[in-house]
Structure 1
């Protein structure tokens, strides 16, 4: 047999005379090989003595390929019951990059008046920056699955061979295809996308004109789609509360960035230097993400074991033990070797479309509520230019607090039906901004709107996780995030067109209409995860 080396035993025990002559494994046509010549690589050897005994002729004896003998430990690890390594470090690095995402998002409302003055930007062209984010996010979402498939097959040893300090002679190992590794794909995609995200701050700091701003927002959204698509499933795997906490860090970045930006602008510093200074935490984030998400030995060993089980369960239908009493032992049914298109599977779920549309409506309402508020206060409320830029920080502070509280509620498994009432509060606060002509009151109302808006997106993500199968959650979360990005483009653009033609005083009209539509849409969603077999939210395959 090719690859066989002397002294490589196929089985620990010695077969007795008259027992087993050979083993035939059915793959359409039987292939018979003497047991003494079988070669098993060391990394594929299993300790079989505790599971079965080939010398036992009773029909109830388990076979080497029975589900029971292979899958007990592996299924436990697939369900996430094994201890994950570097959890605290990975959570911290993930929280930091979410903070930076909010940092870049939250400062837009503060610097938008300076964009309009320096680059002659109107409300319509200003709202196109959100459209650029949508384009980048959707492109990233569409290629996410394919990108991860390619990233998971990259071998660092093969790549480093081309560096002068790591060069070595080419061997036959370099021509062997690298098997796919999900943890390797996660590590490489997070590291590369964090580097791409830092380019956003470089381009913004260069202040080369409106075209550069448009490209920068597109690049940032593309990088965020890869980052969130890789990190959201990880946060979900270690606890649903971490999704709420991660997005609260996102909001915290939106709180801090406008404060710092407004402070340095008030001191006479030109706004591009804010973006250049942001490269410092970006560099720290790149270093942490690249270090802590390196696959561990335990993760790689689990992948190898899972690969063995999947390959065994998909290769054959029976084992024929040939001897004096010939017996046939059934194997697990063969599975389709061709991988399914998970994007198509996710899009087949009715609930996926519903939650994605809701995410778009929510983020569109959130963006219009705070995106134009500084310009609105300056022109219609005659606010102080030195303090108006702080108002978006209050909005994001409210969102941050709301998401932290939501993380606690998720951990306590509390009833989430109260979220329906929170949308009524948001609608009431939009009416306060409309009818009360007092800047401090408007600012407090905006903070309350952020407070009640905070839990909505994490709640929708958790609900999607409860319904979508585990192997499809990465793509599902990416689609929900893409839907939210699409809403961030459509609604602010429509609002910008209205403001450009009718005047800035019409902003509260748009916000009240959007919040009212969001209230109706949220009331149509289930307040608890749908039940199998009885829910209209699940597809037939899920039922």
Structure 2
């Protein structure tokens, strides 16, 4: 509940804060006419001249918050399904259409333009048309997946929808006050569930004559996501959606008070750009493994048609890691534990490269997924602690969108290199990318810079 308190000197506007720079906290409401400050330590709005049933209001807000959470988790599940679908189909696409690795890798690069475009437009479109409307449209855009040969063109629209769903979900939860690390990790674990289930379906359809019918499942999931997000957010802006769950408005930055627009402010955030490039490489590693590891196992480790299940093993490890490793994240510290989660997969990838064992490769790839899994939600949660609160939504939206472009660039580079050498070049490329991530993360600030 909200209780009136007598303002102390350190509580007056303009006084320095005594909270840890890496913590999120609720902003107190404006002083009332009587000179009192209302402390907001629960999700109860201030309604003048009316008696407020605090328990009823709080219960309604919490129900709304869980509805938002469920809708965005379903949207993230669809994004995971989208990313996990392609890998098991790659060998079949190559067999049916008789194309080289270089030509086949166009299915990865086709979405790059849409990823970059989505990253550039996310902040403008959500401010202009509302968060709820944009995630609703994105859910239906992702449902446009056509079968090959229109596959490459259709991927443009799929990626545009996926980038808005991914960016919107991450930006929304990063904007919440309090500790959101558990919810963020669970949401991204649900992404892993989608990416784990998709290869199980794709592998079955890849062995059928009409393999493209697998996208019927994809379309159904995306349509359901569109309906769910429309019901949960009702085409409202992110600010209005946050108010519905009792979130106070974020304190404006000095630049905002001076009239500087959000685009310019966000573009000046060095920490955001470092984390965006980090995620660009991370998502590239994740999707490159999911997209090409089946081809590697079939060609280099003599795996059969069931090798597609190795992709499910990778994404299954990704899912488990995002939840099971939460205690370790808290014990070591989220900034420091990233280095552990990069060095362990680097060593395991080296084992897959140098040890020619089918079973060993399958187990190692699953463990790579286990340790890579927590990285994305940790980075998103860390962004909420080091970036200015007013700019979190736009900055995290850009980070998620720009990071998604890595899902197009690095798998394409892998295919292009494999066309000139062999698919075995996948592993040294992954090792180099993980090493680059270690260097980038070392430059990311640990605390909010004032």
TM-score (norm 2): 0.79
Is 1:530 aligned to residue 447 of structure 2? yes
When structure 1 is superposed on structure 2, of 219-228 and 394-403 the one drifting more is 219-228
Residue 273 (structure 1) aligned to one of 213, 231, 236: 213
Residue 126 (structure 1) aligned to one of 104, 111, 133: 104
Alpha-carbon distance, 1:389 to partner? 0.8
Instruction: Give the corresponding residue for 1:291.
Output: 231
Q: Is the 8 A contact 1:109 1:371 kept in 2?
A: yes
Alpha-carbon distance, 1:355 to partner? 0.8
- Aligned-partner Cα distance in 2 for 1:147–1:74: 35
Q: Is the 8 A contact 1:396 1:447 kept in 2?
A: yes
Residues 92 and 440 of structure 1, relative CA distance in 2, 3 Å threshold: same
Alpha-carbon distance, 1:447 to partner? 0.5
Kindly report structure 1 stretches of 4+ aligned residues shifted beyond 4 Å: 70-83, 298-303, 406-410
Residue 482 (structure 1) aligned to one of 401, 426, 430: 401
Bigger relative contact order, structure 1 or 2 (CA pairs below 8 A, ≥6 apart): 2
Instruction: Give the corresponding residue for 1:162.
Output: none
Residue 311 (structure 2) aligned to one of 392, 398, 401: 392
- Aligned-partner Cα distance in 1 for 2:241–2:275: 34
Q: State the secondary structure of the residue aligned to 1:459.
A: helix
Alpha-carbon distance, 1:440 to partner? 1.0
Residue 499 (structure 1) aligned to one of 395, 418, 428: 418
Is 1:242 aligned to residue 183 of structure 2? yes
- Aligned-partner Cα distance in 2 for 1:513–1:71: 62
Q: Deviations over 1:243-299 (max 9, x none)?
A: 221111111111001012213444x35221110122222232222211122379x95
Q: Is the 8 A contact 1:245 1:407 kept in 2?
A: no
Instruction: Give the corresponding residue for 1:100.
Output: 78
Residues 414 and 262 of structure 1, relative CA distance in 2, 3 Å threshold: same
- Aligned-partner Cα distance in 2 for 1:506–1:264: 28
Which consecutive unaligned segments of at least 5 residues does structure 2 have?
1-29, 46-57
- Aligned-partner Cα distance in 2 for 1:277–1:487: 26
Instruction: Give the corresponding residue for 1:422.
Output: 341
- Aligned-partner Cα distance in 2 for 1:301–1:371: 36
Is 1:466 aligned to residue 364 of structure 2? no
Is 1:186 aligned to residue 124 of structure 2? no
Residues paired across the two proteins, number: 396
Q: State the secondary structure of the residue aligned to 1:68.
A: coil
Which consecutive unaligned segments of at least 5 residues does structure 1 have?
1-66, 152-184, 314-333, 532-537
Is 1:449 aligned to residue 368 of structure 2? yes
Residue 127 (structure 2) aligned to one of 149, 152, 168: 149
Residues 128 and 74 of structure 1, relative CA distance in 2, 3 Å threshold: farther
Alpha-carbon distance, 1:520 to partner? 3.3
Normalized per residue, the structure richer in helix is 2
Residues 436 and 453 of structure 1, relative CA distance in 2, 3 Å threshold: same
- Aligned-partner Cα distance in 2 for 1:196–1:510: 32
Q: Deviations over 1:473-527 (max 9, x none)?
A: 121112111331232233222222211101223222222222233333334445x
- Aligned-partner Cα distance in 2 for 1:104–1:465: 27
Alpha-carbon distance, 1:233 to partner? 2.8
Q: Is the 8 A contact 1:360 1:484 kept in 2?
A: yes
Alpha-carbon distance, 1:358 to partner? 0.9
Residues 131 and 300 of structure 1, relative CA distance in 2, 3 Å threshold: closer
When structure 1 is superposed on structure 2, of 268-277 and 106-115 the one drifting more is 268-277
Q: State the secondary structure of the residue aligned to 1:121.
A: coil
Is 1:372 aligned to residue 326 of structure 2? no
- Aligned-partner Cα distance in 2 for 1:74–1:295: 33
Q: Is the 8 A contact 2:414 2:425 kept in 1?
A: no
Residue 154 (structure 2) aligned to one of 201, 207, 216: 216
Alpha-carbon distance, 1:402 to partner? 1.2
Instruction: Give the corresponding residue for 2:433.
Output: 514
Q: Deviations over 1:187-235 (max 9, x none)?
A: 21221221111112xx23xx3x1xx222222212211222233322322
Listed as ranges, the matches of 1:75-90 within 5 Å are 83=58, 84-85=61-62, 86-90=64-68
Q: State the secondary structure of the residue aligned to 2:111.
A: helix
- Aligned-partner Cα distance in 2 for 1:436–1:461: 35
- Aligned-partner Cα distance in 1 for 2:371–2:241: 42
Alpha-carbon distance, 1:102 to partner? 0.6
- Aligned-partner Cα distance in 1 for 2:110–2:104: 10
- Aligned-partner Cα distance in 2 for 1:217–1:465: 31
- Aligned-partner Cα distance in 2 for 1:243–1:306: 17
Instruction: Give the corresponding residue for 2:140.
Output: 195
Alpha-carbon distance, 1:72 to partner? 8.8
Q: State the secondary structure of the residue aligned to 1:100.
A: helix
TM-score (norm 1): 0.66
- Aligned-partner Cα distance in 2 for 1:71–1:480: 43
Residues 117 and 464 of structure 1, relative CA distance in 2, 3 Å threshold: same
